[in-house]
């Protein structure tokens, strides 16, 4: 600055104005240099770098480019020029350096944040990310970096050593624990969820308390995002998944079979013993032929050995239409190619009630996806409800206007 001022004085400018003019010239020169450096970095260096990144075989640098890591790095160059030029301004040198360094530190925070986001994006490209997501851990790292850089920035602006602020940090521990309560609880919950393999991205979970019934799409430090099947998004506090209960359907998908457990209700007034005509009819049913012959032999043998006179139906054993219907359903399930025959298949009676006698069908479908599962289940019950009449059974339903009109 002294040199520029001397040149101006030699040109005949008064010393009083030469100082202001020299300062203005230097400031304009630094601004011009910063603008030129910024243009070179963005228009030349960044374009060359972008062209190289997009044309190589690596994917990680494309992710860093999309996260604007390199764009933010370019922002430091003008600040470095100003910082290096600070000694020119003798009286303002220290102040310029402090503010310039503050800008560099804040920019560095954004750069590190972009790098951590890039690491998460790169990690998500691997299957392990579904089992062990690291987004929550990276968010903890971000918080630590923000705190450290925040202390350095404040210390720099105050002109003090960061160690002085850190020494008083213990007194603020209670305040920080209150402010970051959710983050601390979420971090601990995240460790428990991942270490115990309780939750993965892509899992179908159900948590009625929060109205969640869908797929996990994101696991962060504080929250777990669930996309319901109606495409709404539900945000659940991470620590709630530890403190409260939730249902994870992953085991069902890994098992490869989804349970069918549904009942039909038989009108008790339609249940009766089978007549010879009914038995002859049932013998013509493919699934029941062997069953009827075996049961007839078993019943005849028992009645002859254990019961002296069994002409009355109350004496001895006899086939019933509901028992035969139950056997038919079981054979029908065993011959259904959309069900797992190596898993439990059962047709059982539940306790009769006001709606009649419940017959519960218990089996496992081969398809676990929602649409496939519902189609398989609907096909089974379509057939069962339609065929019940062949066994002289009525499916119970509450009386309707149609029933009143025709009876």
Choose the weakest-confidence range: 27-31, 189-193, 220-224: 189-193
Q: pLDDT grade, residue 8 (50/70/90)?
A: very low
Tokens for 356, please give them: 């009649």
| pLDDT tens-digit readout, 231-287 | 899 998 888 888 888 888 888 877 888 899 999 999 999 999 988 899 999 989 888
Specify the pLDDT at position 16. Answer: 54
- pLDDT recorded at residue 58: 83
How is domain 193-250 classified at the CATH fold level? SH3 type barrels. (2.30.30)
Q: What is the pLDDT of residue 323?
A: 93
Going from the C-alpha of 329 to that of each of 209, 258, 320, the distances in angstroms are 38, 19, 14
Cα–Cα distance, 357 to 208 (Å, whole number): 31
Report the Cα–Cα distance between both ends of the chain, in Å, rounded. 111
Give backbone dihedrals phi and psi of 156, rounded to 5 degrees, phi first: -65, -45
pLDDT-derived band at 4, boundaries 50, 70, 90:
very low
Using the CB atoms, write b or e for 292-316: b if 16+ within 10 Å.
beebeeeeeeebeeeeeebeeeeeb
Q: What is the predicted pLDDT for the residue at 93? A: 79
Q: How confident is the model at residue 300, as a pLDDT? A: 82
Where along the chain do its domains lie?
Answer: 2-166, 193-250, 258-406
pLDDT reported for residue 165: 67
pLDDT-derived band at 311 (thresholds 50, 70, 90) equals: low
Average pLDDT of the chain, as a whole number: 82
Distance, in Å, from the CA atom of 350 to the CA atom of 308, rounded to the nearest integer, reads 33
pLDDT in tens, 112-154: 999 998 998 888 888 877 767 777 778 778 888 888 888 888 8
Across 36-45, average pLDDT: 88
pLDDT for res 360: 95
Which pLDDT tens digit goes with each residue over 183-214?
A: 777 777 777 777 677 888 888 899 988 989 99
């Amino acid at each position: 600055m002294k040199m520029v001022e001397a040149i101006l004085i030699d040109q005949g400018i008064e010393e009083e104005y030469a100082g202001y003019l020299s300062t203005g010239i230097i400031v304009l020169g630094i601004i011009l240099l910063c603008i030129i450096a910024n243009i070179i970095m963005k228009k030349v260096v960044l374009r060359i770098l972008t062209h190289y990144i997009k044309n190589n075989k690596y994917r990680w640098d494309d992710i860093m480019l999309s996260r604007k890591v390199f764009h933010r790095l370019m922002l430091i160059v003008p600040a470095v020029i100003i910082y290096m030029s600070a000694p020119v301004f003798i009286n303002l040198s220290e102040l310029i350096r402090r503010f310039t360094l503050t800008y560099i530190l804040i920019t560095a925070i954004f750069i590190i944040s972009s790098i951590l986001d890039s690491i998460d994006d790169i990690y998500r490209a691997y299957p392990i990310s579904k089992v062990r997501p690291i987004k929550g851990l990276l968010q903890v790292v971000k918080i630590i970096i923000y705190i450290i850089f925040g202390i350095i920035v404040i210390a720099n602006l105050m002109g003090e050593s960061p160690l002085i602020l850190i020494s008083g940090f213990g007194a603020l521990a209670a305040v920080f624990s209150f402010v970051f309560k959710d983050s601390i609880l979420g971090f601990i919950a995240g460790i428990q969820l991942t270490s115990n393999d309780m939750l993965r991205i892509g899992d179908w979970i159900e948590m009625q308390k929060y109205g969640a019934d869908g797929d996990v799409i994101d696991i962060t430090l504080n929250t777990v995002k669930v996309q319901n099947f109606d495409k709404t998004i539900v945000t659940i506090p991470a620590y709630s998944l530890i403190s409260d209960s939730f249902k994870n359907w992953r085991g069902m998908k890994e098992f490869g079979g989804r349970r069918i457990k549904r009942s039909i209700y038989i009108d008790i007034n339609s249940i009766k013993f089978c007549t010879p005509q009914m038995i002859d009819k049932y013998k013509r049913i493919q699934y029941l032929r062997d069953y009827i012959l075996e049961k007839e032999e078993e019943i005849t043998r028992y009645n002859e050995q254990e019961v002296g006179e069994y002409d009355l139906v109350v004496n001895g054993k006899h086939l019933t239409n509901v028992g035969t219907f139950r056997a038919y359903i079981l054979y029908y399930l065993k011959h259904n190619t959309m069900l797992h025959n190596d898993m439990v298949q059962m047709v059982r009676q539940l306790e009769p009630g006001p709606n009649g006698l419940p017959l519960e069908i218990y089996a496992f479908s081969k398809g676990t996806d929602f649409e496939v599962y519902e189609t398989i289940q609907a096909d089974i019950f379509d057939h069962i409800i339609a065929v019940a009449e062949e066994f002289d059974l009525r499916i119970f339903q509450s009386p309707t206007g149609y029933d009143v009109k025709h009876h």
